[in-house]
Amino acid sequence: MNYYSTRDRSLSVPFHNAIFQGPAPDGGLFMPDRIPHVSSDFIHHIESKSIIDIGYEIIHPFTSMPPADLHAIIEQSFIFKAPLVEIGHGLRFLELFHGPTLAFKDFGARFMAQTMAYFRSAHEEINILVATSGDTGGAVASAFSGLEGFKVYILFPKGKISALQQKQLTTWDTNIQAIEVDGTFDECQRLVKTAFNDRNLRANKNFGSANSINIARLLPQMIYYFEAYRQADHKADLQIIVPSGNFGNLTAGLMAKKMGLPLSRFIAATNSNDIFPFYLETGDYHPRVSRETLSNAMDVGDPSNFVRIKELYHGQDEGSTWNNIKSEILPHVVSDQSTLDNIHKVWSEFGYLMDPHTAVAYDATKNYPGNNIIVSTAHWAKFLSTINRAIGEDIPEIPESLSSLNNKEEKYLSIDSKFDSFRQIIS
């Protein structure tokens, strides 16, 4: 299968080429030529399948890999579960935080790292550049750590990520170089973009992108929607609530539905960065500078995957595209105060702790009762100060994988936000 640019259908490259690029050369995003269908037999027998079987079945039509090789990559990538947990009163969470960095980004990052390692030519060293506002950096660092032939540079904005998130970037002894930038996340992203466009740099080195628009991060995220369906007791009229920022997670869900997974609809839940809900309600798309909220991994003012969603629901004109999209996706917007209240309420009623992103999704169950699955994107322990604000001092013990980071020494470089400072490090 080939991947075309959302800006120009004739710009089309094979899978093994698309995965090393961020955006397409013309600035569009890569999309698969077509969305293949799974057989009804597969759906019918899904309860007897493992996450590895499901992963193979879903992904293989999108790649050109020999079956045994793809199977091995999937086994290496999905070494953790995606349980559907019912806490009572019909509240069900699809827990996507059982990977090494306790956030759903492990699914995408691990598969991307494994496929890039598979397609790398033996003599090449690849420099991965990635800017992070929180969870991406940790997942990418963990996924590439120790992989031969890769050097990973992770830029994070000084003082703007949680202490534990920072530990997840800065405590590697391996091929991972964390860089603290005295600036905002947007400035980190600009440094990465500038590097990709710098011909002199590229003349001597190979660069690869690992940000959330990479197609190798998107595809594996379809798998857990099938996993959710497999585990659901009641499979009719399922509504999936997705806490969203850049909308990669939701886009993967829409693709799973297009492949034939029988889901009824999606609810796009956002914090006050409500650009997409506003589009659903009015048909107007107005990107903005992002606002800071408690669910900071979703503080996105111009969601990059919006163009992919439009591709999936493409109509004859803008109006019919909008109609197609809003027939399957419903909007929900949540304030920081409600986010805190929700964490408190679910904790005191059910003894279940939600992280702030999951709490945004939970909020939608009030407006949209029904056969809901709430997508839970991170473990609460990554956001201790918010949890503290929501429930007070009496916080349960945090998982070993996080508490053990406290004893590790942090190593990182610090730079200002000028490109020259960054270039000196990577050239």
Residues lying near ligand PLP in the complex (CB under 6 A): 103, 105, 134-135, 212, 243-249, 297-298, 357, 377-378
Q: How far is the CB of 356 from ligand PLP (least distance, A)?
A: 8
Q: Among residues 56 and 299, whose Cβ is nearest to ligand PLP?
A: 299
Between CA 276 and CA 281, with CA 278 as vertex, the angle to 5 degrees is 115
CA proximity to 169, closest of 405, 398, 356: 405
The residue (of 190 and 217) whose beta carbon lies closer to ligand PLP is 217
Among 52, 25, 27, 21, residue whose Cα is nearest residue 116: 21
| Alpha carbon distance 3, 33 (integer Å) | 6
Q: Which is nearer to ligand PLP, 84 or 378 (CB)?
A: 378
DSSP letter string over 277-337? HHHHHHS-----PPPP-SSGGG--SS-TTHHHHHHHT--SSHHHHHHHHHTTEEEEE--HH
The helix or strand, by DSSP H or E, that contains position 60, with its residue range, turns out to be none
Query: Shortest Cβ distance from residue 412 to ligand PLP (Å)?
Result: 20
Give the chain's end-to-end CA distance (angstroms, integer): 35
Q: 184: exposed, middle or buried (C-beta count within 10 Å: 0-12, 13-18, 19+)?
A: middle
Cβ distance to ligand PLP smaller for residue 155 or 378: 378
In angstroms, what is the minimal distance from the CB of 206 to ligand PLP?
26
Question: Of 322 and 380, which CB lies nearer to ligand PLP in the complex structure?
Answer: 380
Written as six digits, the tokens of 58 are: 């879903």
| 167 catalytic residue (yes or no) | no
Distance, CA of 368 to CA of 105 (rounded, Å): 26
SS3 content of the chain, % helix, strand, coil (to 5): 45, 20, 35
As measured in angstroms, the least distance from the Cβ of 86 to ligand PLP is: 21
Least CB distance from residue 246 to ligand PLP, whole Å?
3
- DSSP code of residue 383: G
> Considering 49, 81, 105, 310, which one is annotated as catalytic?
105
Pairing outcome for strands 238-243 and 371-376: parallel
Least Å from the CB of residue 66 to ligand PLP: 30
CA distances from 229 to 40, 42, 44, 60 (A): 14, 12, 11, 20
**Which residue's CB is nearer to ligand PLP, number 152 or number 250?**
250
Catalytic residues: 105
